[in-house]
Amino acid sequence: MKIGELARLAGTNVETIRYYERDGLLPVPARSEGNYRIYGDSHVQRLSFIRRCRGLVMTLDEIRVLLHFKESPQENCADVNRLLDRHIGHVAHRMQELQELERQLKDLRERCGEARDAAHCGILDGLSQAFVPGGKTASHVQGTHRHAANRNLAKGNQGNQV
Amino acid sequence: MKIGELARLAGTNVETIRYYERDGLLPVPARSEGNYRIYGDSHVQRLSFIRRCRGLVMTLDEIRVLLHFKESPQENCADVNRLLDRHIGHVAHRMQELQELERQLKDLRERCGEARDAAHCGILDGLSQAFVPGGKTASHVQGTHRHAANRNLAKGNQGNQV
DNA sequence: TAGAAACCCTTGAGTGACTACAGAGTCAAG
DNA sequence: CTTGACTCTGTAGTCACTCAAGGGTTTCTA
């Protein structure tokens, strides 16, 4: 099959497939006479695996580790477990941060019930004072502002994220 | 004061300040004889405002709107309220996504209790099957994977996020 | 069989909000 | 006068794509 069909089957778009190939996540496929990439079932499997992992907001590097284990069935999978545990930790951590963030934002929102002139807006006042903005962040799960073009995965944003 | 002191006072780093200047968030400051940027209290105020907003995971564009209102005290602040409401919505949405994500990851993790060979790892098995990876994402709040160098704000990642 | 439409190719740039680095200049202390 | 801390500009890198230009190939329809 050609790249367009692979894209449809795996729910990706074509540029992403070519990007994964450049990035070494997908093997370089055969080419047709007209220089078109030619794929088979194994590519569908592998790409689907990658997209499912991305749907779980793993980084491409994490996915690389998982792919390595898929290809080395005799190895011990303890690293897979560790990777997933760490990833779950990231997600949990990010959720805590967001909860704190939500609390702060709601606090702030309550400072200005109705519209008035900006000089007396409680929100702007609040933002001008030094309330403490939580702590540090060290996870990799992202994505609240995302405007367009997310086709069918929980990408959240262009980086990777939990 | 010079840029280093401003950075310390506002809890930013120096490159970020220059970046904000290029990006139009901070006014172009005066220069010393030796071509050093010279800042005053108003810069500290403004930069701190920006960093507090960033701590609440607002985008630089959102912050630009807020700065505009701070500078136009006679205008009606209804847009400020709207902006914050939308932002809170983004955060809430992202939290729901993360909850779903956590559920899926924990499901997956339970498939492989202890280490064995990768050929029989329930996690790799699970990732190879077609469980549905949630829905689309359209927020802008990010950040679970973030590895280093987050100094003192809830950045989460390099994009912006809720 | 011609032409159009749909598909594919490569290359390069753009996204957001920084971060890092190279190579040079400035300044204060010892 | 040297050392080291600080600053300057400019450029490239981050992450995971996404988009567009400018061309070639294949397939469908008239």
- B30-31 and B37-38: which strand pairing? antiparallel
**What would the mean pLDDT of B37-54 be, rounded to a whole number?**
93
Q: How many CB pairs under 8 A join A and B?
A: 314
The reported pLDDT for the residue numbered A137 is: 47
Dist. CA B12–CA B15, nearest whole Å = 9
Between these two residues, A38 and A136, which has the higher pLDDT value? A38
Minimum mean pLDDT range among A148-157, B7-16, B96-105: A148-157
- What is the percent of chain A with per-residue pLDDT over 90, rounded to a whole number? 33
- B140-145 and A30-31: which strand pairing? unpaired
Which of the given ranges, A33-47, A86-100, A125-139, has the highest pLDDT on average? Answer: A33-47
Chain A residues 11-70 within 7 Å (CB) of strand C = 14-15, 18, 35-37
Q: Is the dihedral of CA B93, B123, B157, A153 positive or negative?
A: negative
The reported pLDDT for the residue numbered B39 is: 97
Looking at chain B, which residue has its C-alpha nearest residue A61?
B145
Between these two residues, B90 and B160, which has the higher pLDDT value? B90
Nucleotides of C under 7 A from a protein CB: 7-12, 14-21, 25-27
Residues 6 or more apart whose CB falls under 8 angstroms from that of B83 comprise B62, B65, B66
Q: Which nucleotide, over all strands, has the C1' atom closest to the CA of B3?
A: D7
Two tokens, residue A53? 């992992």
Q: If phi over 0 gives left and psi between -120 and 50 gives alpha, with beta otherwise, what is residue B156?
A: left
Which of B53, B144, B147, B150 best tests the A interface by mutation, with the highest count of A CBs <10 A? B144
The reported pLDDT for the residue numbered A151 is: 31
Which of A61, A80, A161, A162 best tests the B interface by mutation, with the highest count of B CBs <10 A? A161
The reported pLDDT for the residue numbered B53 is: 87
**What would the mean pLDDT of A46-70 be, rounded to a whole number?**
88
Specify the DSSP class assigned to residue A142. E
Minimum mean pLDDT range among A21-35, A105-119, B109-123, B146-160: B146-160
The answer to whether A147 and A157 have CB atoms below 8 angstroms apart is: no
Tokens 């939500």 — which residue?
A: A102
Q: Of the candidates A55, A86, A58, which has an alpha carbon nearest to the alpha carbon of residue A152?
A: A55
Is residue B97 predicted with pLDDT exceeding 60?
yes
* Helices (H), ranges, B25-59: 41-55
Q: If phi over 0 gives left and psi between -120 and 50 gives alpha, with beta otherwise, what is residue A18?
A: alpha
Q: What is the pTM (predicted TM-score) of this model?
A: 0.77
Return the amino acid letter for B6.
L
